[in-house]
Amino acid sequence: MKGPGKGKTNNPKGKPKGALNRTTKESKELLEQVLLGQVDNINSALIKVLKDDPAKYLDACSKLFNYVLPKRTDVTSGEKEIPTSLPVIIIQ
1: pLDDT strictly greater than 60: no
**Structure pTM?**
0.50
76: pLDDT strictly greater than 70: no
- At 4 the pLDDT is 65
Residue ranges of domains in the chain: 22-64
Which residues, at least 6 apart from 84, have a Cβ–Cβ distance to it below 8 Å?
66, 71
User: For 20-48, what is the mean pLDDT?
Assistant: 91
Select from 10, 32, 8 the least CA-distant residue to 20: 32
